[in-house]
Structure 1
Amino acid sequence: MRGEWNSEQAISAQNLTLSYSGIQILRGIDVALPAGQTLALLGPSGCGKTTLLRLVAGLLAPTTGDISINGQMVAGPGVFVPPEKRQLGMVFQDYALWPHLTVAGNVAFPLEMAGIGRAEREARVTAALDRVGLGAMAARSPAALSGGQQQRVAIARAIVGEPRIVLFDEPLSNLDRELRETMVAELGALIRGLGLTAIYVTHDQSEALTLADQVAVMEAGQIAQLATPEHLVEQPASPKVAEFLRLGAILRLVRDAQGWSCAGRALGPLGGPEVALADVLVTPRALRVTEIGQAALTGEVLAAQFRDTGYTVTVRLDGAAEPGRAIRTVQISSDTRMRTGERIGLQILPERLRWFPARADVPM
């Protein structure tokens, strides 16, 4: 899938593939990233997102296809520019800080390798640490810092050489949830403030949707969907994308003369495609609590969690179990806390459903 952008491309990749011992790891990757934007590579472990990042960084060479950075081909037929000449910054998952060097020493290390003079080196290090809020900790050991502070040191080291492009490989995965949320906001502000172009690898959809201008959802070595965060949430390209983003429940519906049914329970006319079988995304916004006697769906409350200004309620639907599939559950939003075990009725709002062709590999 190719990104459809009109502005100047800072990074572009065409028909990238990568194979090991005859096994294809990446298949037909096309990406285009304009200068000043952030692209998130989102997906579960083993989907190929870190491998794609390493191809851009020059830590791996593609089997076929080509990569260009700022209009210059850096990998392709007969061409391979090594990592140190691609003018990129990188932030790793494990920070990769030298324990025997001070904070300032860690940040200065790439400048030393580049032969930058001492005076300029010190000025750049001071500026980079100030940008990440660690100017007062230059003389400390990395071991004396918290995990969030160590991550800031790694970010300072990535930007000290003043690259226009920075690559992030799951940089916040070792931090707890509350600190990750804070760091995502800080990182986004830093990227925008410095006018950087960034590729950000993560398995956390909230990070990707918060930070990125474009999100590439990856599955089995391919890009399943490439879109803005808003488009992904409103129009996921497939049930798998919707399920990975935790947008709601995917239900298999059957059409007959009276309309649609789910697991033998009649739902009536809901619109949708003129087909006998369809999969439908049911988000919390597509359901409304109603009287059981008037409900299209009924079920039992399994759990209620308080989030922000209301409750997210998980409901196990009544009806025959679907072979080969987990127990069918949906989530709804509620202003009040519902009791576990409480039985409720649900009305479906057809205009808020997202329809997909039924997948042959999913049993009814």
Structure 2
Amino acid sequence: MAYGQTRILREIDVALPEGQTLALLGPSGCGKTTLLRLVAGLLAPTSGEILIDGRKVAGSGLFVPPERRGLGMVFQDYALWPHLTVAGNVAFPLEMAGIGRAEREARVAAALDRVGLSAMADRSPSALSGGQQQRVAIARAIVGEPRIVLFDEPLSNLDRELRETMVAELGTLIRGLGLTAIYVTHDQSEALTLADQVAVMEAGQIAQLAAPEDLVEHPASPKVAEFLRLGAVLPLVRDGLGWALGGRQLGQLGGPDVAQAEVLITPRALRLAEAGSAMLTGEVLAVQYRDTAYAVTVRLEEPGAAPAQTVQISSDSRMRVGERVGLDLISERLRWFAARTTPSFSQG
């Protein structure tokens, strides 16, 4: 896909099985919304093809308009009409399609029943909670029995606490309805919670396409690991004694047989040790209680290490900010990558 001489999307090849949810995840400007608009028919591709349910809808001179693609869409702000009732909002796309009144009313009733809002058909959208408004938007998206429902960052305008509550409810609803869905988001937790497959996008390309658990356990690159905030990615150099970080010898940790590499250090790959004999030492920067343990952020104090190098470790006991601690690496839990020559992509 290109605008003039500028290529926006490159080498995109994705297949979405029926009944699954694909999340398009990435920072602003990575191309995820452009890809969604191509599927929706709001943009025409300059090369390649788009097929929906085995039927070509774009490519090789063919372009099927949005209203004939059999898609539903849930927008960022839900786009509910304030002057219409809940039932009126759900019925709107059927009216535009010229569906008769009797069939229209039957379909609206069925759609509202599927999302649990049958009793609120005559209410104004403004009288509903945020979660209920989301369900109205989904009912409107499914009332025409679409092949795929497209979600364009529907939770991005909510604060963090409400978003975490809503994403769980939305995931339950999508699975309960058996929807085939494409979900655009820049939020890692949303993607990993909702999706069967996640496409991490960077600069118009898919950096990795995998199930959520595979992304977390086996990120394909340092950039993917950093974007997903899986841990610290540190540059190491091999010498005659093994691996070293800055001026600190770490010993034999396994890894590739190369002179330089990068390593992902997750909280699970660290354990506390005596500062005098530990592989790494550092100062506690922050302590947060999460569920059943403390998440401790430690700034490394190694010679030659950049001041911004930090790692996280889980601790059963509360540590003091400013406390000096020792850390050992658990070699079998490290994830190795080839040394990079290009910068990481932003968290936008």
* TM-score (structure 2 length as normaliser): 0.95
Q: Supply the distance in 1 between the matched residues of 2:250 and 2:177 (Cα, whole angstroms).
A: 53
SS in 2 for 1:186: helix
Are 2:190 and 1:218 aligned? no
Between the aligned partners of 2:325 and 2:274, the Cα distance in structure 1 is: 7
Native 8 Å contact 2:152 2:183 kept in 1: yes
Contact 2:242 2:250 in 1 (8 A): yes
Indicate which of 327, 342, 345 corresponds to 1:361: 342
**3-state DSSP class of the match of 1:29?**
coil
Match of 1:11 in 2: none
> Residues 178 and 127 (structure 1 numbering): CA distance in 2 closer, same or farther, change over 3 Å?
farther
Q: Confirm or deny that 1:351 pairs with 2:332.
A: yes
Which deviates more, 250-259 or 326-335? 326-335
Q: In the TM superposition, what whole-angstrom CA distance separates every residue of 1:178-216 from its partner, at most 9, and x where no partner exists?
A: 332232222222222222211111111111111111110
Provide structure 1 residue ranges, at least 5 long, that are not aligned to the other structure.
Answer: 1-17
Name 2:241's counterpart in structure 1: 258
- Cα distance in 2 for partners of 1:270, 1:65 equals 45
Q: Deviations over 1:21-58 (max 9, x none)?
A: 31111111111111111111000111010110110010
Q: Name the amino acid aligned to 2:48.
A: G
State the number of aligned residues: 344
State yes or no: 1:302 paired with 2:285. yes
CA RMSD of aligned residues (A): 1.5
Distance 1:38 1:359 in 2: 32
Preserved contact between residue 66 and residue 76 of structure 1 (Cα < 8 Å)? yes
What is the one-letter code of the residue matched to 2:328?
Q
Asked if structure 1 preserves the Cα contact closer than 8 Å seen for 2:299 and 2:307, the reply is no
> Which moved further from structure 2: 279-288 or 172-181?
172-181
Gaps of 5+ in 2: none
How do 1:1-364 residues align onto structure 2 when only pairs under 5 Å count? 18-320=1-303, 322=305, 327-361=308-342
| Contact preservation (8 Å) 1:282, 1:354 | yes
> Relative to 1, partners in 2 of residues 1:197 and 1:256: Cα closer, same or farther, differing over 3 Å?
same
1:206-259 Cα deviation digits (max 9, x unpaired): 111111111100000000000111111111000000000000000000100001
Distance change (3 Å), C-alpha of 1:146 and 1:190: closer
Q: Deviations over 1:337-362 (max 9, x none)?
A: 11100110001000000000001235
Q: TM-score, normalised by structure 1?
A: 0.91
**Quick one: distance in 2 between partners of 1:268 and 1:362?**
27
SS in structure 2 at match of 1:28:
coil
Q: Deviations over 1:302-342 (max 9, x none)?
A: 001111111111000012455xx660000001111111001
The alignment partner of 1:200 has SS state of strand
SS at structure 1 position matched to 2:312: strand
Residue in 2 that maps onto 1:8 = none
Secondary structure, counterpart of 1:281 in structure 2? strand
C-alpha contact 2:234 2:264 (8 A) present in aligned 1: yes
Name the CA distance, whole Å, in 2 between partners of 1:95 and 1:181: 18
Worse overlay, 93-102 or 342-351: 93-102
Q: Distance in 2 between matches of 1:85 and 1:361?
A: 43
CA distance in 2, matches of 1:164, 1:181: 27
Amino acid of the residue matched to residue 94 of structure 2?
A: L
Give the 3 Å change call, closer, same or farther, for CA 224–59 of structure 1 in structure 2: same
Whether the 8 Å contact between 2:114 and 2:177 is mirrored in structure 1 is no
- Bigger mean CA deviation after superposition, 188-197 or 22-31: 188-197
Amino acid at match of 2:326: G
